[in-house]
Amino acid sequence: MKKTTKKIMIGSAITAGVAAVAAGASVISHTITKKLMQVALDRKQPKMPQKAQNSMMGASNIDLSAVIDGNRAAVERLEQGVTQTAEIVSFDGTPLTGHFVACEQPRRILVAMHGWRSSWSNDFAAIADFWKQSGCSVLYAEQRGQNNSGGDYMGFGLLERYDCLEWVKWVNETVNPERLPIYLCGISMGATSVLMASGLALPDNVHGVMADCGFTSPEAIWRQVVEKNFRLSYKVRAATAEKICRQKIHMGANDVSTIDVLREGHLPVLFVHGSDDHFVPVEMTFENYKACAAPKRLLIVPGAEHGLSYFIDKESYEAASTAFWKDFD
């Protein structure tokens, strides 16, 4: 065999090998991305090793088991205090469930949106007594794609903002004949939902938004988790993630951001975030606060992990909430 022919054959074999490796890597990347998007959006969460679940949420310096144990009695108390269970149909035909807890002589009504893969009673049990004692009746919504509400997918605020609007309508039509002030409250994905909802055509008696540890957009939080927590490249997965997102919820991961909404907003906003949040970085609330064109307040709780600001510093959280209501009721 001539040397030239041999070199060509070796070169072709190397090229084919490289192409095969690249194709294999592409298949693996697509499979991983598909799994991550199932975790993000699907009602039924695919099985994940505990190590992967821990990586997704980021490192934590807090014993979360102690927090969970301490919250159980409050969860039971909140669930037993439900005045009325509500069922509505959202803009796209998705059935939604909510729980109304009335207080005596209410001064305002809150619409509370819980977080991703969580529940209304778990996320708001700790603060529920304070809300009630402060003259707040509360509609606790169950987010689409979770628990007792319908829908196959979660929308990371892109769809839930419209659900929030429907709950406001329900409140005014059903339990608010006096047209008391309404505040939209949310934690984590619920915070993003209410911030995005603030850009919709809300009734005049919606007076403000209270957002605890919200992210800026689905794309931004997915990038954060993939790159910082999983230590993978988001760039090579972005196109696949976007395609899957549009297939499942018929919207793109960056079609709407809280930053865009807040730049055009007029509703007052109270932003809350823990400084040590390893899931939704506190920098996202700084971005939201900077973009907000409406009257705004900011509470950063030193040492607080994701969604734990109220547990870490109740006094500051309650003072900030009370001052917010006093100024904008």
Beta-bridge partners for 140: 99, 112
Contacts 24+ apart (CB under 8 A), 261-264: 261/195, 261/196, 261/198, 261/199, 262/195, 262/198, 262/288, 262/291, 262/292, 262/293, 262/294, 263/291, 263/292, 263/293, 264/199, 264/293
- CA-angle at 213, arms to 212 and 217, nearest 5°: 120
Domain 42-217+256-328 fold: Rossmann fold (3.40.50)
- CA-angle at 242, arms to 240 and 245, nearest 5°: 110
- Distance in angstroms (rounded) separating the CA atoms of residues 49 and 52: 5
CB neighbour list of residue 131: distance below 8 Å, 6 or more residues apart: 103, 110, 124, 138
Low-confidence ranges of the chain (pLDDT < 70): 1-29, 48-66, 68
pLDDT, tens only, 92-107? 999 999 999 999 999 9
Report how far Cα 60 is from the mean position of its chain's Cα atoms. 19
Q: State the pairing for strand pair 108-113/95-101.
A: unpaired
Per DSSP, the chain holds a count of helices (H) and strands (E) of 12, 8
**pTM of the prediction?**
0.89
pLDDT of 63 reads: 65
pLDDT of 70 reads: 75
pLDDT of 275 reads: 97
**One-letter amino acid for residue 59 of the chain:** A
pLDDT of 48 reads: 66
Query: Alpha carbon of 122 to those of 69, 77, 92, 140, 147: distances in Å?
Result: 11, 11, 27, 11, 12
Backbone φ and ψ for 9, nearest 5 degrees, come out as: -65, -40
DSSP 143: P
* Other Cβ atoms closer than 10 A to 108: 22
Instruction: Evaluate whether 192 touches 233 at the Cβ level (below 8 Å).
Output: no
pLDDT, tens only, 130-152? 999 999 999 999 999 999 999 99
pLDDT of 69 reads: 75
